[in-house]
A = this chain, B = another copy of it.
Amino acid sequence: MLTNVRNVRIEWCDCDPAGIIFYPRYFEMFDTSATVLIEHALGMNKIEYLKVYDFAGHPLVEARARFHMPTRYGDEVAIETKLTECGRSSFKIEHRLTKSGTLAVEGFETRVWVARSAGDPQRIKSQPIPDAVRARFAGSGNGA
Residues of A within 8 A of B (CB): 11-13, 15-20, 22-25, 27-28, 31-32, 35, 45-47, 56-57, 59-68, 70, 72-74, 122, 124
Complex Cα gap A31–B57 (Å): 26
Closest 7 CB pairs of A and B: A24-B27, A64-B64, A45-B74, A24-B24, A17-B19, A24-B28, A15-B17
Complex Cα gap A15–B19 (Å): 10
A47:B72 contact, CB within 8 angstroms: yes
Number of copies: 4
A42 to chain B, nearest CB (A): 13
Complex Cα gap A20–B58 (Å): 12
The chain B residue sitting closest to A63, CB to CB, is B65
Contact of A13 among B12, B32, B63, B72 (CB under 8 A): B32
The chain B residue sitting closest to A23, CB to CB, is B60
What residues on B are CB-neighbors of A63 within 8 Å?
Answer: 23, 63-65, 67
